[in-house]
A = this chain, B = another copy of it.
């Protein structure tokens, strides 16, 4: 036994772990591998220390831990033994190191987990040329941002460290409340704002608050897939409402005669088609919600970038009956990795939403909040947005012209009043947008197929092509590649 042990154990005085830890791990491994079988008597600590040329304390320390974890047992007067309480199955396995490979097995997941597994977009988050919603990143003022971050974290305020409110720091909520009032005519006390980890969490919370399993929820068709998946994930049923040239068709919703208590809409800039809802329809929508006791989720995802006219006031700002849940995000005006979105809720729903948020992930992380509050209040954000608006307007114009010139026979493209992407409708009904998407994706062009944003019947065929994150110098080459992929897709049909 002594011989086996010594050949197994090799201690390195200069190793990362202390000697007793090395000894513990190697003995444990030897036990788990069956090198030291149950019942084996170990040499005395004094003897082992001498053989291994370490101090007796090192051996005692290792033995103590093995004893505490149940690998060893001692019998009075007769020494220390390998425990016989370790089941056989454990013994034949590696006790340390990396994991084993996936098992082939069936087991019961929740219905929600099964549904989400099926519905979830398995594509990784990845951005590149033509990605819709990808902002310009090279021109973001990272110098200012790093400075604001570091300023707060060299000597952080104590309350940032542990006591952050569930809905985010009051400082940031105040800055946002002012910003939203000025730019979007959103009416809010800071207490009505929840700072969340992205607009996806806001959508998730709102759906969770209003939907029981099986309930219908109205959403625009085509619409944002993140909403559809969230509705499905909550066990509810997304009910597609057609989009006309003013967005969400209230007429269609009324004709449906549904008892859905929540309707999701993007009135400022419908996603992905782009129309803006008129004031008249906004008022009708609010009135419908009031009369029929429904709530409206207003997804205001990119209305900071408007090129024609001025931004229309938000639905929330017109609401006189506290029916609107307003969702916004810093992903488009800063960058999505920041994971900051926000939800503005009616005063009587604040506590309920705080309870839901607390359950979901505790409270808002503090690392970015003080810096972000300064970034907004100090005018850095609005300065950056102004700059980007001019840049994106130019990029849209250049891309539009290139598409019309190079792909005009295949695509019908109109200028967009707002946002970060163009919509190119495919003229030929036999040419599939998904085929073009796939060819483009293989080539690193991350436009999206319009038909995949539909969940009702009769999807339209088209391409959602982002322009905001792509420099104009690159556009001619990229559009040529796109034209080639369209041609290839046509030849394949």
Contacts and interface: CB of A to CB of B under 8 A. Distances in A.
Contacts of A69: 279, 312-313
A163 B233 CA distance: 23
Given A143-B154, A337-B161, A65 B310 contact: yes
A146 interface: yes
Contacts of A310: 21, 24, 61, 64-65, 68
A331 to B, nearest CB: 8
Interface string A152-189: 01111010111111100000000001000110010111
Contacts of A85: 279-280, 283
A357 B95 CA distance: 30
A11 B154 CA distance: 43
A311 B211 CA distance: 44
B120 A358 contact: yes
A125 B313 contact: no
Interface residues of A, number: 136
Given A107-B293, A156-B142, A100 B70 contact: no
Nearest to A65: B310
B361 A125 contact: no
A162 B362 contact: no
B362 A197 contact: yes
Nearest to A322: B103
A307 interface: no
A208 B112 contact: yes
A196 to B, nearest CB: 7
Contact of A96 (B98, B143, B181, B209): B181
Given A154-B142, A278-B70, A134 B162 contact: yes
A187 B229 CA distance: 32
A139 interface: no
Most buried by B among A16, A70, A111: A70
B99 A188 contact: yes
Interface string A442-486: 000000000000000000000000000000000000000000000
Interface stretch (A39-47, A345-353, A394-402): A345-353
Contacts of A53: none
A489 interface: no
Interface in A289-331: 293, 295, 309-310, 312-313, 317-318, 320-322
A279 B71 contact: yes
A252 interface: no
Interface stretch (A198-206, A420-428, A433-441): A198-206
Given A102-B347, A125-B165, A153-B149, A116 B356 contact: yes
A86 B363 contact: no
A384 to B, nearest CB: 14
A71 B312 CA distance: 11
Contact of A337 (B142, B336, B365): B365
A290 to B, nearest CB: 9
Nearest to A106: B293
Contact of A355 (B120, B337, B355): B120
30 contacts: A68-B310, A69-B279, A70-B279, A71-B279, A95-B317, A96-B181, A98-B188, A101-B347, A102-B346, A103-B321, A108-B293, A113-B352, A116-B352, A116-B356, A117-B355, A121-B358, A125-B363, A127-B163, A137-B158, A142-B153, A149-B149, A149-B150, A162-B336, A162-B337, A198-B362, A200-B360, A204-B360, A339-B363, A339-B364, A340-B365
